[in-house]
Amino acid sequence: MSFGDIFGGVPEGTWVAPGRVNLIGEHTDYNDGFVLPFAIPQRTEVAAARGEDGVWEAWSALTGETIRFTVDDLTPGAVEGWGAYVASVVWALRERGYEAPGARLAITSDVPLGAGLSSSASLESAVLGALIDLGGLDVPVEERPAIAQLGENRYVGMPSGILDQSASIRCREGHALFLDCRSLEVEHIPFDLAAAGLAILVINSNAPHQLVDGEYAARRASCEAAASALGVPALRDVPLDGLDDALARLDDEVLRRRTRHIVTEDDRVLRTVELLRAGDVRGIGPLMTASHASMRDDFEITVEQVDVAVAAALEAGAYGARMTGGGFGGCVLALVETSAADEVRGAVEKAYAARSFTPPTTFTATAAPGAHRL
């Protein structure tokens, strides 16, 4: 099925936006800290044309369903399900003073759903690109992630940070995106794994997601409570060399653990960036593994399947391995010699089989381009 089968006629264009993996820097985004994602080749594609003013129609190949909403539905809660992500973009554009043109949108995607690879942000970002171009709206690229995030926060109701939309919109092929989530300044860090004889194996744990939204919101609330108790705007403002003092001032053990994760994770991002700038890709392995331990022990967002995948990958010779994304399931990244990828994959599969886990699915990731018009 294509745009013509659904709506008739031809689209005015096709806009794409990728999913992402985050190399390092987890849950640091809403703490005003640092992240280092790269875009993956899996992406959402939106073939689109202008339509009647104030009316939006969207078809999804994933559900086979066409939804329709109008300006009267631009209040949070009025459109639900996957359509909410489409409506959220129209709503957020308006909130920021941009009038989205009425449009017909045919949406396909090969970003795995519910795997922590930002299928939602890729949908929002592709729709955003389509509406901006169809409407001839002058929205600077630096402002676009915050618009998509606003829609997700307030229209969809997910309290996510700005990592996923920034990655989907601002990443560049062959580069990781070093983003300061406070200033929103970016640096594109060359990340050519193949040239170094390396690969990132992405291992989808296929663990069932449980309590994800509530746990995410709880982590965010804990970080905000810790920052407030410490009298800083955000945990990013606690320096690494002041961490012990800060921890001594928190009387809640959970808040101490959450704070330690964020402060040390920001430092790991900065050290990863330094190593990549110096061309030492293998050197980032131990930082990835330390990040995983911090997410497991201090931030408490991993599950058994991801811990087993990390341990099996390391035992099979990965330079480093860590869960990527929000947690409670999702994917693990393992940094491996290209020649060792099959062996590491096999070791994880064996470890899963021994525990009767649902088998993992894997792919090797390359750093793909961010959102663009085809």
Q: Is 231 exposed, middle or buried (0-12, 13-18, 19+ CB in 10 A)?
A: exposed
Confirm or deny that 9 is annotated as ligand binding: no
Query: Of 67 and 303, which has the nearer Cβ to ligand GAF?
Result: 303
- The catalytic residue positions are 164
**C-beta neighbour count of 216 within 10 angstroms:** 20
For the bound state, the minimum distance from the C-beta of residue 268 to ligand GAF, rounded and expressed in Å, comes to 13
Confirm or deny that 117 is annotated as ligand binding: yes
Confirm or deny that 81 is annotated as ligand binding: no
Point out which residues bind ligand GAF (CB under 6 A): 22, 26-27, 29-30, 160-161, 163-164, 325-326
Confirm or deny that 116 is annotated as ligand binding: yes
For the bound state, the minimum distance from the C-beta of residue 158 to ligand GAF, rounded and expressed in Å, comes to 7
Do residues 229 and 214 make contact, with C-beta atoms less than 8 angstroms apart? Answer: no
Query: Of 26 and 267, which has the nearer Cβ to ligand GAF?
Result: 26
Query: Of 238 and 351, which has the nearer Cβ to ligand GAF?
Result: 238
Confirm or deny that 183 is annotated as ligand binding: no
**What Cα–Cα distance (Å) separates residue 314 from each residue in 54, 60, 309?**
53, 39, 9
Residue tagged 């609330």 (tokens): 221
Query: Of 27 and 104, which has the nearer Cβ to ligand GAF?
Result: 27
Alpha-carbon span 323 to 336, nearest angstrom: 15
Nearest to 261, CA basis, from 246, 249, 278: 246
Do residues 331 and 115 make contact, with C-beta atoms less than 8 angstroms apart? Answer: yes
Q: CB-side exposure of 196: number of CA atoms within 13 Å?
A: 20
For the bound state, the minimum distance from the C-beta of residue 30 to ligand GAF, rounded and expressed in Å, comes to 6
For the bound state, the minimum distance from the C-beta of residue 117 to ligand GAF, rounded and expressed in Å, comes to 9
Instruction: Specify the DSSP element, H or E, that contains 293.
Output: helix 285-297
Alpha-carbon span 214 to 119, nearest angstrom: 19
Binding residues for substrate: 26-29, 216
Binding residues for Mg(2+): 120, 152
